[in-house]
Amino acid sequence: LERTFSIIKPDATARNLTGAINAMIEAAGLRIVAQKRVKMTREQAETFYAVHKERPFFGELVDFMISGPVVVQVLEGEGAIAKYREVMGATNPENAAEGTIRKAHAQSVGENSVHGSDAPETAAVEIAQFFAGNEIVG
Ligand code: GTP
Ligand code: MG
C-alpha cells in the first residue's frame, strides 16, 4: 500500500475543521496511520517548502504555515498519493471540484486548508521530516 504525507493547514485548524477534513479523508478510503498536531518552526516550514523558495509568494507561504498549529499526517491506501490529491482538489479553491476538501473549506489559493505530497519521492522525504518509523502504525 502506498503512503502520502498530509498537512491540515493553520486556516483549517483555526476553524476547528480537523475532524471534518479527516472524515473526508476516511470516506475516500484512505487510512490515517500517523497523526500529530504541531506548531512548525520557521526553519521547518522553509525546509518543507524549499522547492518554492524562488517563488514570489514564498515568504507569505512560510508566514502562513507558522501562523498557527497544523496537523501532520501519514495517509495509507491504494494509490494514496493520487487519491489524496483528488480528494484535496485544485490548489486554488476557485478551480476545485465539488466534493473536494478545498472546494468545501479553502479560503484562497494561499490559505487552502491542506497539503498532500505530489510524488513517491517527495512523500518519502516529507514523511521522514515529521515522523519516525515507529510513529507510523499501518
Ligand atoms: P501543496 O499540497 O500545499 O503543496 O499544494 P499544491 O501542490 O496544490 O500547490 P503548490 O505545490 O503549487 O504550492 C504550494 C502551496 O503554496 C499551495 O498549497 C499554496 O498554499 C501556496 N501557494 C501557491 N500559489 C500561491 C500564490 O499564488 N499565493 C500564495 N500566497 N500562496 C500560494
Ligand atoms: Mg505541492
User: How many angstroms is it from 135 CA to the middle of ligand 1?
Assistant: 27
SS (H, E, C) the chain: CEEEEEEECHHHHHCCCHHHHHHHHHHCCCEEEEEEEECCCHHHHHHHCHHHCCCCCHHHHHHHHCCCCEEEEEEEECCHHHHHHHHHCCCCHHHCCCCCHHHHHCCCCCCCCEEECCCHHHHHHHHHHHCCHHHCCC
Dump pLDDT digits (tens) for 44-100. Answer: 999 999 999 999 999 999 999 999 999 999 999 999 999 999 999 999 999 999 999
Predicted ipTM > 0.90: yes
131 marked as part of a ligand binding site: no
Is 105 an active-site residue?
Answer: no
Distance 82 CA to ligand 2 centre (A): 12
pTM across the whole model? 0.97
| Ligand 2 center from residue 116 Cα (angstroms) | 7
- Give the closest residue (by CA) to ligand 1 atom 31: 110
Any ligand 1 atom below 6 A from CB of 118: yes
